[in-house]
Amino acid sequence: MCHRMLTGLRDWLRRRPAGTGTLWDRPAVRERYARCLVAVHQLDALCAPLLDAPAAVPSAVAGMLLKVSAAETVDRVAAEAVRLRGADASATAGRLSYAPRRPCSASPVEPPERCSPASPTTPTSLPAR
């Protein structure tokens, strides 16, 4: 999720005019983006050993460390993306579009707000639990 969010943010920053160039041309903006990128790569490094040995059961401490690190990284990246997008993020009620919307599945795990409005499966037609 963070990789897609950062890719979309980078593309947006490269297109967004600011002064005589774009927002991406500003060193302070690239530094803020780089800090998020470093955090995502650190999270990837934490995940790599667990993904390389899927048969091994991680310890409870490793699981907690990974869960907290992932939450902090997602929070950092999402918050910085909203700050860098400024009013454009507010125009979409704070939701950043980092991936195209897709039709809803019948899964109760799929949040209805991620569904396309024209989707044949609406939140009201999802099976009751």
Give the tens place of pLDDT for each residue, 69-96: 999 999 999 999 999 988 666 555 545 5
List where CATH 1.20.140.10 sits in the chain: 2-98
The correct answer on CATH 1.10.287.3510 for the domain covering 2-98 is no
The pLDDT of residue 79? 94
CA angle 90, 104, 126 (to 5 degrees): 115
DSSP label at residue 23? G
Mean pLDDT across the stretch 101-106?
A: 46
DSSP label at residue 127? P
Q: Over the stretch 29-65, which tens digit does the pLDDT of each residue have? A: 999 999 999 999 999 999 888 778 767 777 888 888 8
For residue 18, list its beta bridge partners: 21
pLDDT bracket for residue 104 (50, 70, 90): very low
